[in-house]
Amino acid sequence: MRETTVLDALDRAVIHALHVDGRAPFARIAAVVGGSPQTVARRYQRLRTLVGLRVVGLPVPDRTRRQQWLVRLTAVPGAAQGIARALAARPDTSFVHLASGGTEIIAVVSSAADPSGAGDPHRLLLRDVPRTAGVTAVSAYCVLHTYFGGPTAWRGRAGALTGEQEEALRAALPPSGDGDGGEPVTLSAGDRRLPAALAADGRAGYAELAAATGWSAATAARRVADLRARGALFLDVDMDDAALGVTTRALLWMSVPPARLDEVARTLAGHEEAAFVGATTGPTNLLANVLCPDPAALHRYLTRRLALDAVAGLESTPVLRTVKGVGTVRPW
């Protein structure tokens, strides 16, 4: 993205509308934000080109029997960028970051057991990464609970629409069930192909989804609505957030006494800087991904809003480059 890219009010309204419902037809978005469907469609295509805007469909891990792992790799100088690109090319990774001095790679890895019993859901962690030339250290932490992130995306992409406009978009969404309770959803073979197709384009037409899954277009439409209603599938917006004024991103690895973990995590989840807050295994037990306008804003956040007595330890890791976002590889 060029530094001169400036988003106007309509651009931000379209992004916010997709944040509410990534599959909303352009006609519905136009009726809410103003303008014609053709104008909204042109703005969407413009944003795809200028800021890499993508709508991505993803399974909700704890509703689809999937595990998420945070993998930290240290590589020899000169090897990290190639390793990061290789990780970004894999369908089981997201948020591949180059961090620290450019020799550390941090990635989110999603693993799911194959119901047939074939394959190893932890192949990347147990075999592929350890055998990668240039990797000098590997650590992996399981995400135990997500307090903020996934279906509840970063608030910095919102704020352009009024509450009434948001409600008008939500009115057309499938009825939502309880995504926090009940048995996880068992995905069929077609269901497992559906997120793969939506990860490439969350706004793909039902004819395209039918071709990817082997269903009819009507079945694809019903299944998308059903999985969204059951909290098993969500749509996210991926873009270069520098267009929204973000120049500084950091991963915060925190140690919190278990008795205070829930309290601290919920407090952080209410911070506008937070894009992700999750409890993890490992030497630290709470991770936050925060986005700030500049280093000074990050300093204020760390010394003021994050100055909580229950945070016993903190390591901040600056993100130098995001190689892969929620589901799409960024231009190099």
Q: Quick check: is 234 in a domain?
A: no
Q: 261-277 as b/e, with b when 16 or more CB fall inside 10 Å? A: beebbebbbebebbbbb
Q: Quick check: is 291 in a domain?
A: yes
Residue 41, pLDDT > 90, answer yes
Fill in the amino acid letter for 297.
A
Q: How many helices (H) and strands (E) does the chain have?
A: 11, 10
Q: Quick check: is 55 in a domain?
A: no
Fill in the amino acid letter for 232.
A
Q: Quick check: is 24 in a domain?
A: no
pLDDT tens digits, 90-134: 888 999 999 988 899 999 998 865 544 445 556 665 567 767 788
pTM: predicted TM-score of the whole model, two decimal places: 0.89
pLDDT tens digits, 162-183: 999 999 999 988 776 545 556 8
DSSP 152-183: B--GGG--SS-HHHHHHHHTTSPPP--TTSSP
Average pLDDT over residues 259-288: 97
Predicted pLDDT at 122: 62
**CATH number of residue 279's parent domain:** 3.30.70.920
Q: Quick check: is 18 in a domain?
A: no
Q: Quick check: is 276 in a domain?
A: yes
Using DSSP, state whether 223 is helix, strand or coil.
Answer: helix
Give the residue numbers spanning the domain of 254.
Answer: 148-152+245-320
Number of residues written out for the chain: 332
Residue with tokens 């991103």: 249
Residue 1's CB is within 10 A of a number of other CB atoms, namely 15
Q: Quick check: is 9 in a domain?
A: no
When divided into structural domains, the chain yields a total of 1
Q: Quick check: is 264 in a domain?
A: yes
Average pLDDT over residues 252-259: 98
pLDDT tens digits, 142-162: 999 999 998 877 899 998 999
Q: How confident is the model at residue 73 (pLDDT cuts 50, 70, 90)?
A: very high
pLDDT tens digits, 304-325: 999 999 999 999 999 999 999 9
